Amino acid sequence: MLLPFCVLVFLRLDPSLTAPAFSPEEELGLAPAEPQADLKLATEYLHRFYKLQKDPSGRMRRSGPSFTSKVKDMQTFFGLNSTGELDSGTLEVMRSPRCGVPDVEEYSHIHGTRWNKNVIAYSIGRYTRDLPSSTVDFLIESAFGVWAKASGLTFVRSHTHNTDIMVEFVTYAHGDFYPFDGPRGTLAHAFGPGSGAGGDTHFDDDEHWTAGGAAGFNLFVVAAHEFGHALGLKHSRNPESLMYPTYKISRTSNLLSREDVHSINALYSKQLYSKQPQFPHLMQDKCAPDLTFDAVTFLGDATIFVRDRYLWMKHKELSDIKEGPITNFLPKIETGIDAAFWIPRRSTAYLIHGKPRTLSYFGFPPWVQDVDATVHIEKTGRTLFFLQDTYWSYNENRKIMDFGYPKYISEDFPGINSTINAAFYKNSFIYFFMGPQVLKFDYTLKQVVGVEMANSWLGC
């Protein structure tokens, strides 16, 4: 059974207590607490996070050597004065919302793992009721972007359940043996990298999620912390670290400390990205004069070029090109990719590969079993599908095919007179990959304005 990587919780003695400073809603007020309530809080806290063994009789003992030792462990972790006493500073930390991973446990046998790839797919299942879905999409993408910028990892939005990291807003028992507990309790949890539930991240929808402001919990900050765990990171003792156990809302920019950046790069070393695939017989000559592509599209901050079951990946800020079998980058795609397109405003890549039902999603008639190429036109919100000498226009806002299609390609794209292998939209131009050539088409002027070789896109 996979253990959750992170569970953000409130541990409170009494509903009358004011919320801790950690809360975006109120400032911390340490209300006087009865000694027995303090002891109950500390016992539960140390049992949950510091492996304090419960007394078989069920009694709580403040004076036992084990209890005192665990208090000292907790105080040491948080940089407190290690007295073993339940002083006000210690109780303040114990009352603060925090992650549910034990602080003193060696994580290596549960965590410390990583995804053995540099392209990680995520999907958003059930949404929160507190924010528009488009806002949630943006905040989740931004939280992944925090780690992408620091590590070079690429995160790709998927619309299937067959994905690496599933993000969902749920309540109470939700199928993973770690139920949420209603308002102002557990905030979220995440599982470490792995198959099955590995990487999955859940948020308690009984909390009030916000995009910022005075009330509620900032989804961007919580998500960024949780995704650190979903990538395999542990907790930090550094209060400036995003991976510090207690949730902070002090800033929403420059979330990562130097330690966080070092940790993610140590886990995903550069060797992961520079390692050549161990399939020499599958290596392709990218500078071959007859090179053609089946699909070309953005994929996060990278551009991918696909031929058969082989893929080249070119990052915007890197000069080198990663290449290898598609499964090296996208293990769950076992076939070639026939067509692909990227929708920037949703940070979503659609990869069409050998499954007719994929096309039925867009409203194609049953007789359309495949397409030659696809391209998304950002300024019109349309996705164009090309098949032989015709094309369709799909309205991404209304989720329907535009009326009057298919139309002939030659009528609306003069100069494009042969089969299109792949298409790519950039800066108001459509680049039509046709055999070993690429025709640069001005979408505003409706004319071909340039011709180049396909392999020039790979630096040849």
pTM over 0.75: no
Q: What angle do CA 340, 342, 346 make, to 5 degrees?
A: 140
The arithmetic mean of pLDDT across residues 47-55, rounded, is 77
Omega before residue 15 within 30° of 0, cis: no
Task: Give 168's pLDDT tier (boundaries 50, 70, 90).
Answer: very high
The answer, yes or no, to whether residue 178 has pLDDT greater than 90, is: no
Question: Quick one: angle between helices 65-77 and 35-50, nearest 10?
Answer: 70
| Beta carbons of 87 and 12 less than 8 angstroms apart | no
Task: Give 107's pLDDT tier (boundaries 50, 70, 90).
Answer: very low
* Amino acid in position 28: L
3-state SS, residue 214: coil
Q: What angle do CA 300, 386, 408 make, to 5 degrees?
A: 145
Question: Token pair for residue 63?
Answer: 């004076």
Beta-carbon contacts of residue 292 (< 8 Å; ≥ 6 apart): 307, 421, 433, 435, 436, 454
Task: Give 250's pLDDT tier (boundaries 50, 70, 90).
Answer: low
Cα–Cα distance for residue pair 32/88, rounded to 1 Å: 10
> Is 260 marked as a binding-site residue?
no
> Is 205 marked as a binding-site residue?
yes
Find, among 23, 50, 8, the residue nearest to 189 by Cα.
8
The pLDDT of residue 57:
57
> Is 99 marked as a binding-site residue?
yes
> What CATH number matches the domain at 276-458, 1.10.630.10, 3.40.30.120, 3.40.50.1860, 2.110.10.10?
2.110.10.10
The answer, yes or no, to whether residue 25 has pLDDT greater than 80, is: no
> Is 207 marked as a binding-site residue?
yes
- Is the pLDDT higher at 180 or at 431? 431
- Known catalytic residue at 226: yes
The arithmetic mean of pLDDT across residues 65-82, rounded, is 87
What residues does 437 pair with on adjacent strands? 434, 453
> Is 415 marked as a binding-site residue?
no
Question: Token pair for residue 381?
Answer: 């919100």
Among 9-18, 102-111, 129-138, whose mean pLDDT is lowest? 9-18
> Is 243 marked as a binding-site residue?
yes
Token pair 């792995």 is found at 194
Share of the chain above pLDDT 90, in %: 28
Among 57-71, 153-167, 301-315, whose mean pLDDT is lowest? 57-71
The answer, yes or no, to whether residue 275 has pLDDT greater than 50, is: no
> Is 376 marked as a binding-site residue?
no
> Is 111 marked as a binding-site residue?
no
- Which H/E stretch holds residue 220? helix 219-230
The arithmetic mean of pLDDT across residues 290-305, rounded, is 86
* Residues shown for the chain: 460
* Amino acid in position 27: E
Among 225-234, 267-276, 356-365, whose mean pLDDT is lowest? 267-276
Question: Token pair for residue 291?
Answer: 């090179």
Give me the residue spans of the domains in the chain: 29-95, 107-243, 276-458
* Residue 219 backbone phi and psi in degrees, to 5: -65, -40
> Is 401 marked as a binding-site residue?
no
b/e map of 12-42 (b: 16 or more CB within 10 Å)?
bbeeebebbbbbbeeeeeeeebeeeebbebb
> Is 174 marked as a binding-site residue?
yes
The answer, yes or no, to whether residue 18 has pLDDT greater than 70, is: no
The arithmetic mean of pLDDT across residues 250-274, rounded, is 74
> What CATH number matches the domain at 29-95, 1.10.101.10, 2.60.40.1930, 3.40.50.300, 1.10.357.10?
1.10.101.10
Token pair 């599933």 is found at 166
The pLDDT of residue 357:
52
Neighbours of 290 (CB within 10 A): 10
The pLDDT of residue 88:
92
> Is 200 marked as a binding-site residue?
yes
The arithmetic mean of pLDDT across residues 387-400, rounded, is 90
Task: Give 332's pLDDT tier (boundaries 50, 70, 90).
Answer: low
Share of the chain above pLDDT 70, in %: 80
The pLDDT of residue 52:
86
Side-chain half-sphere exposure of 415, counting CA atoms within 13 A: 17
The answer, yes or no, to whether residue 34 has pLDDT greater than 80, is: no
The arithmetic mean of pLDDT across residues 339-357, rounded, is 76
Token pair 């709580």 is found at 60
Task: Give 252's pLDDT tier (boundaries 50, 70, 90).
Answer: low
Of 27, 92, 226, 259, which one is the catalytic site residue? Answer: 226
3-state SS, residue 267: helix
Among 13-17, 64-68, 89-93, 357-361, whose mean pLDDT is lowest? 13-17
* Residue 297 backbone phi and psi in degrees, to 5: -160, 160
CATH placement of domain 107-243: 3.40.390.10
What residues does 166 pair with on adjacent strands? 123
Q: pLDDT for 210-233, tens place per residue?
A: 998 768 889 999 999 999 989 998
The answer, yes or no, to whether residue 280 has pLDDT greater than 60, is: no
Cα–Cα distance for residue pair 331/6, rounded to 1 Å: 26
> Is 208 marked as a binding-site residue?
no
The pLDDT of residue 197:
83
> Is 442 marked as a binding-site residue?
no
Neighbours of 215 (CB within 10 A): 10
> Is 294 marked as a binding-site residue?
yes
Average pLDDT, the chain: 79
Cα–Cα distance for residue pair 257/45, rounded to 1 Å: 27
Among 44-48, 178-182, 288-292, 387-391, whose mean pLDDT is lowest? 178-182
Q: pLDDT for 402-427, tens place per residue?
A: 998 999 999 999 999 888 999 999 98
